[in-house]
Amino acid sequence: MAFDFKKEYKKFYMPKKKPEIVTVPPANYIAVRGEGDPNEEGGAYQRAISALYAVAYTLKMSYKTDYKIEGFFEYVVPPLEGFWWQEGVEDVNYSEKSAFHWISVIRLPEFVTQKDFDWAVETASKKKKMDCSSAEFLMIDEGLCVQIMHFGPFDDEPATVAVMDEFLAANGYENDLSGTRLHHEIYMSDARKVPAEKWKTVIRHPVKRA
């Protein structure tokens, strides 16, 4: 059976509907950076997602090509994730989506090296006839965080974040958001197929002891 990150690392992908403190270990990702409204039809965000999945599935299916990755095992492509911020804004202003900066990511298995990644970017660009050069191999070390499962539309996230903040204040922690430690979302639902009221999104914030 193919390795499934969501099942093997359930702690990080399926949190409860109440806040919890976790220490997230370092991991490697396919990443594309950009800015602007994620809902813009054909915009930078949607192009970034296309590039991410093109590279992700090229790596996943590499075993069917002449290119062999050392230590490869079959796996399920992990969920799409995103790191979000707005310049000069401590909390996210959902009414100003055009001001978003983002790093969209998909987690990589540990056996994928920079060499393998470079091969996948080049191969995906040729096979899909699209420019995947914006994709980068990125290691992220989140460390100490608070997380919760948010149910419903993205615009309703502030209420869930408020619950997280109350939890932190009651338990001796505080947010540690910065230019390198960012608001993090993991998308556990396919927004194209699931109605917005049933969307499941992991919200994760970096924290420190108060």
Model confidence pLDDT, tens digit, residues 52-69: 999 999 999 999 999 999
**DSSP assignment letter at 67:** -
Q: Say if residue 126's pLDDT is above 80.
A: yes
Q: Is the pLDDT of residue 183 over 80?
A: yes
Q: What pLDDT does 159 receive? A: 96
pLDDT band at residue 95 using 50, 70 and 90 as cut-offs: confident
What is the pLDDT at residue 191?
84
Per-position b or e across 34-69, b if 16+ CB within 10 A of its CB: bebebeeeeebbebbbbbbbbbbbbbbebeeeeeeb
- pLDDT of the residue at 93: 75
Judged against a pLDDT cut of 70, whether residue 91 lies above it is answered with: no
C-alpha distance from residue 53 to each of 15, 60, 106, 122, 140 (Å): 25, 10, 8, 14, 19
Rounded distance between C-alpha atoms, residue 75 and residue 1, angstroms: 8
pLDDT digits (tens, 9 = 90+) for 3-21: 999 999 999 999 999 999 9
| Mean pLDDT to the nearest integer, 58-82 | 98
Q: What whole-number percentage of the chain has pLDDT above 90?
A: 92
Across 74-91, average pLDDT? 91
Question: Are 51 and 132 contacting, i.e. CB atoms less than 8 angstroms apart?
Answer: yes
- Output the pLDDT for position 92: 72
* pLDDT, averaged across the chain: 96
Asked if the model's pLDDT at residue 210 lies above 80, the reply is: yes
